[in-house]
Chain A
């Protein structure tokens, strides 16, 4: 029983990270039909902003040494600025191109960002120890639960609520939803595309920054390809959840996160290294049974 609760918390915490990442990808997909592979590198750069840029083997904290509120603000600032800059410089010029061109543009951007960090910081993984006290467990009803896991879940829930309020109550949020639900009509109605898209990128950057902090607090490791597995699973999650649906992105994120922990727990020890085989198989199965994802979005279907 105690073990089960621990697994549930693990699953929800991992699911939270995937859900936040998937949401960042899903928002951008909604407003411009771009699957942004570089989202993982937003997370990666957010993490590297914690330390002083240098190719030395040991790292020195930079933003990571600031008091917590400043640290959070600083990382958010860096990643949001990066997201807005990529939108302006890389994605806006190709906005009207085919979705495959948009996707490859994000691939190229991802490659660029990773190698830029590689050139500055070197290829070796670095450590960045932020908030070590959060790794200490607290007792809830006799069960020891790491604080960080709980914080991850709570922060995710708070962000989801804020995002829902934003999307439903503010004019910009409503414009964004309109664009997601009916891409062409929204364009025709003259919703100010530039502002809507830039706002979506800013929010996506904010979500990436939060994931950077939570992820680094958890692992303390920085590497130039650390964003790749996150974005890969989040990408899969958006499709499993239902491409074009923000609810779907969150659901998909939790499904993939919970699935990963589930297989980690139930597979016999010798098979655990193959855990991801089962996660991918689950994804494949969901896609085959529900080709348009768990949460169906009207905007993707085409009419005869």
Chain B
């Protein structure tokens, strides 16, 4: 491969390369210097990045808000539990069909299968819903979340109902999470650059213009919806194998709200915005949590009253929205320009 070919390739993919490098650097620094507690925090934040990138694939490119994506996260989390729990634990807690109950499947194929299940569900519910416009589609996805949430909450034999399902094998650490984040970032970027991503971004800018240009809006939205659901499901899988237990109540409005807020605060119209939003909000949450627990400054311990973490994060969000309504990145991508004129000419 010639130098200029390599350079133009690197330039074209500079956004995912830079984003992945920065996150990798953070992971390496934390791995070399810090305590296990910080590593846990970083892992948690990386899982959030997967979720917000998943959300971005649909919301960012289509401009349609979706309130139901956490349903796919829940589907992914429970599906991986059905596959990977030990047969002893399955027989103890759940009543599954033989093919699940009598086997314990390896984690990697299970992660793919569980995320794919989320994507398949998205395909089925998406076919009718993606014909709807804007706010109706958003509410329809919320109705889907409401249905799954209520159903899983009462589906004792498969989910233990409202109780916490324990014993999910722990294997997600900082490095595993980083690997999946890099995968998500690259897929999101490749999609966004593809003919499908371009067509969908055109529908976001002007629906009439897009239709006159031969673009089928329901079809393009459906493609993004399915890919997006895969990564939402993957986020659920990672969370299950990070925390070791899952509960239906955790896949509801507050997770919906926080992931949407991360995306919008980062800047919903760019992949960089999704990654920045998830990272920044996670970081601020962690700092506030530390301060709430008390930190030492010049010999005296400063601490904030309990509950100030959530109040602080809500306040930060409100301030960003008020002063920078298009998000921290303003919809721009992080990019590397190796030559003065990148394209064209």
Contact A304 B208, beta carbon cutoff 8 Å? yes
Residue B311 lies at the interface, judged by CB distance under 8 Å to chain A: yes
Binary CB contact string for chain B from 309 to 332 against chain A (1 if under 8 A, 0 otherwise) = 011011101100110011000000
Q: Which residues of B contact A109 (CB under 8 A)?
A: 314, 318
Contact A287 B136, beta carbon cutoff 8 Å? yes
Contact A235 B305, beta carbon cutoff 8 Å? no
Residue B264 lies at the interface, judged by CB distance under 8 Å to chain A: yes
Residue B65 lies at the interface, judged by CB distance under 8 Å to chain A: yes
Interface-lining segment among A129-137, A170-178, A270-278:
A270-278
Contact B317 A108, beta carbon cutoff 8 Å? yes
Q: Which residues of A in the span 107-154 have a Cβ within 8 Å of any Cβ on B?
A: 107-112, 115-116, 118-119
The residue on A at minimum CB distance from B260 is A104
Residue B171 lies at the interface, judged by CB distance under 8 Å to chain A: no
Shortest C-beta distance, B83 to chain A (Å), equals 25
The residue on B at minimum CB distance from A284 is B143
Q: Which residues of A contact B144 (CB under 8 A)?
A: 280, 284
Q: Which residues of B contact A277 (CB under 8 A)?
A: 146-147, 150-151
The residue on B at minimum CB distance from A107 is B257
Shortest C-beta distance, A238 to chain B (Å), equals 9
Number of interface residues of A (CB under 8 A): 45
Interface-lining segment among B34-42, B115-123, B127-135:
B127-135
Q: Which residues of A contact B135 (CB under 8 A)?
A: 35, 239, 243
Partner of A105, one of B147, B311, B321: B321
Q: Which residues of A contact B133 (CB under 8 A)?
A: 291
Known A112-B314, A118-B307, A291-B132; contact A103-B65, beta-carbon cutoff 8 A: yes
Residue A68 lies at the interface, judged by CB distance under 8 Å to chain B: no
Q: Which residues of A contact B254 (CB under 8 A)?
A: 111
Contact B315 A119, beta carbon cutoff 8 Å? no
Residue B261 lies at the interface, judged by CB distance under 8 Å to chain A: yes
Partner of B321, one of A108, A118, A239, A302: A108
Shortest C-beta distance, B153 to chain A (Å), equals 8
Shortest C-beta distance, A278 to chain B (Å), equals 9
CA separation between A115 and B153, bound complex, in Å?
Answer: 25
Q: Which residues of B contact A115 (CB under 8 A)?
A: 307, 310-311, 314
Residue A188 lies at the interface, judged by CB distance under 8 Å to chain B: no
Q: Which residues of B contact A283 (CB under 8 A)?
A: 139-140, 143
Residue B154 lies at the interface, judged by CB distance under 8 Å to chain A: yes
Residue A228 lies at the interface, judged by CB distance under 8 Å to chain B: yes
Contact B325 A97, beta carbon cutoff 8 Å? yes
Shortest C-beta distance, A93 to chain B (Å), equals 4
Contact B307 A284, beta carbon cutoff 8 Å? no
Q: Which residues of A in the span 218-264 have a Cβ within 8 Å of any Cβ on B?
A: 228, 232, 235-236, 239-240, 243
Residue A62 lies at the interface, judged by CB distance under 8 Å to chain B: no
Q: Which residues of B contact A105 (CB under 8 A)?
A: 318, 321-322
Q: Which residues of A contact B265 (CB under 8 A)?
A: 104
Q: Which residues of A contact B305 (CB under 8 A)?
A: 119
Binary CB contact string for chain A from 69 to 107 against chain B (1 if under 8 A, 0 otherwise) = 000000000000000000000100110011011011101
Partner of B150, one of A35, A101, A276, A304: A276
Q: Which residues of B contact A90 (CB under 8 A)?
A: 318, 322
Contact B310 A280, beta carbon cutoff 8 Å? no
Contact B142 A236, beta carbon cutoff 8 Å? yes
Q: Which residues of B contact A235 (CB under 8 A)?
A: 139, 142
Q: Which residues of A in the span 285-304 have a Cβ within 8 Å of any Cβ on B?
A: 287-288, 291-293, 302, 304
CA separation between A170 and B3, bound complex, in Å?
Answer: 74
Binary CB contact string for chain A from 20 to 42 against chain B (1 if under 8 A, 0 otherwise) = 00000000000000010000000
The residue on A at minimum CB distance from B321 is A105
CA separation between A97 and B267, bound complex, in Å?
Answer: 13
In this complex, the member of A105, A118, A240, A275 whose beta carbon has the largest number of chain B beta carbons within 10 angstroms is: A105
CA separation between A103 and B63, bound complex, in Å?
Answer: 14
Partner of B136, one of A98, A100, A119, A291: A291
Contact A119 B308, beta carbon cutoff 8 Å? yes
CA separation between A111 and B310, bound complex, in Å?
Answer: 8
Contact B261 A273, beta carbon cutoff 8 Å? no
Residue A281 lies at the interface, judged by CB distance under 8 Å to chain B: yes
Residue B109 lies at the interface, judged by CB distance under 8 Å to chain A: no
Partner of A104, one of B132, B154, B321: B321
Partner of B261, one of A108, A236, A243, A287: A108
CA separation between A273 and B153, bound complex, in Å?
Answer: 9
Partner of A287, one of B139, B253, B260, B318: B139
Q: Which residues of B contact A97 (CB under 8 A)?
A: 321, 325-326
28 contacts between A and B (CB under 8 A): A90-B318, A98-B325, A98-B326, A104-B264, A105-B322, A108-B317, A109-B318, A111-B254, A111-B310, A112-B311, A112-B318, A115-B310, A115-B311, A115-B314, A116-B311, A228-B253, A232-B146, A236-B143, A239-B139, A240-B139, A277-B150, A280-B143, A280-B144, A281-B143, A283-B143, A287-B132, A288-B129, A291-B131
Nearest 8 CB-CB pairs, A to B? A119-B307, A112-B314, A97-B325, A115-B310, A280-B146, A108-B317, A239-B139, A276-B150
Q: Give me the interface of B with A, judged by CB distance under 8 Å.
A: 65, 128-129, 131-133, 135-136, 139-140, 142-144, 146-147, 150-151, 153-154, 208, 253-254, 257, 260-261, 264-265, 268, 305-308, 310-311, 313-315, 317-318, 321-322, 325-326
